[in-house]
Structure 1
Amino acid sequence: MTLLTILVLLFGTGLIATGLFYHLKRRTLNSDPILIATCYVWGGVNIAVCIL
């Protein structure tokens, strides 16, 4: 794996982790559902790019 692939994979994992954090704390933080969905989608896209 190249360094760029590893960085994109880590960025995607970080986005999914951020989405999960805001999803679990959505009531206390009054999180926007669009923010949560965007984190999940773009994290998944980044990981999918690394797999392909």
Structure 2
Amino acid sequence: MPTDFIRAISAHVDPPDLAVVLTASVDTVTRRLAARGAHRRFEHDLDKVRREPGL
């Protein structure tokens, strides 16, 4: 999505009081997903998991 679009729809949204960002290597995420199974639609495609760090 274009950055301008995201900024426009978020212009009147209050910023969060706290943001928590967790990081892990692709190998760690892939291993954990394989062990516990995918719970959300974003977790079902491991190619997306591998591409995400580069975004």
TM-score normalised by the chain length of structure 1? 0.30
Higher-helix-fraction structure: 1
Higher relative contact order (CA 8 A, sep 6+): 1
TM-score normalised by the chain length of structure 2? 0.29
